[in-house]
Amino acid sequence: MPPDLVALPKVELHVHLEGTIAAETAVRLALRHEEDPAAVLPLVNGGYPERFESFESFVELYLAVSRQVRTPDDLYTVAASFARKQAAQNIRYTEATFTAVTHLRNGMEPAAMWEAVRSAIAEVPDGTTINLIVDSVRNLGAQHAEDTIRAVESADAPIVGLGLTGVEGSVPEREFKMLREEADRMKLGLAVHAGETGTAENVRAALDDLGADRIGHGVAAWSDGSLVDRLVRDATPVEVCPSSNVVLGVFPSLAEHPFPHMWASGINVTVNSDDPPFFSTTLTKEIEHVRSAAGLSVADIAELQERAAAAAFAPDETKGALTAAIGSWRKAQA
């Protein structure tokens, strides 16, 4: 019998809050603001495309959807829906990436913004936790990072990390050294997207120039044997998002995704959904994808979730509770 992945207590480290907006929700938000959805949202037959023509076309649609989040009420709607969906999947712990400065630059008042997110993600059952990683966008430059740091300093929200996202190669990683310094000062983790549409050198720069605690995506590392050896040696957590990589054209299909090789090599991989409605997926589906592709056993699946718990920017008590819950699932499956 296949393992019961619905009952599996899950941990997700790489999911973008704005990337959880379903197409129908984006349409409703546009109508709420008396906009013509067809004019402001480049949808395909009212939904997201099965495949994106390029990373740039994905970013264009992603930003168009994000622009429909104009008020704290809009943000509450999005975040509360996200929180409910995480809880429904039995995702016990989530670190959601939130691009706060986008909303601030669009005119949202800071205190109201944080209140909307904080109250929305608190509406989950006991035993479910959602924390935030507030990200800076590479291609918007160092000033975006400085603004992000200031926003985090004044925030009343469950923030556990800083992040760096955006277009790889647009601005050198070394320009964002302040993120490492400020993360250390504020006792936060640092997660850096690298090696998604970029190269193995972007992963190296994330490690060498920024001291990243975790690598988002990181699949380009597989092409570089010495980097693979380093990731294995240092047990660096790598947040892999298979469906995202396929829908964005990084790999032609799930069958050609390197996850099975990364797993077999000993890289400290975790599995995540990234922007689930954009890629027609969920965390549960992603775990099934890698289970099938890599022939994972019940013990392997439990280990994947235990790795994610260990890599979380969370207190040891939280990690211990997550690991115990995952262990109970493993025993029940056996």
Active site residues: 196
Quick check: 95 and 133 in contact, CB under 8 A? yes
DSSP structure string for 167-192: -TTSS-GGGGHHHHHHHHHTT-EEEE
Q: Name which of 151, 49, 54 is nearest 98 in CA terms.
A: 151
CA distance 94 to 96: 6
Phi, psi at 191, each rounded to 5°: -115, 130
Give, rounded to a whole angstrom, the gap between the first and last alpha carbons of the chain. 11
**Rg of the chain over all Cα atoms, to the nearest angstrom:** 19
- Please list the residues that pair with 217 across neighbouring strands: 194
Helices (H), the chain: 23-32, 37-40, 55-66, 72-88, 100-105, 110-121, 141-153, 177-185, 200-208, 225-234, 242-247, 259-265, 283-294, 298-311, 316-333
Torsion of Cα atoms, 181 then 185 then 190 then 192, to 10°: -20
Query: Quick check: 16 and 100 in contact, CB under 8 A?
Result: no
Backbone phi, then psi, for 274, in 5-degree steps? 70, -90
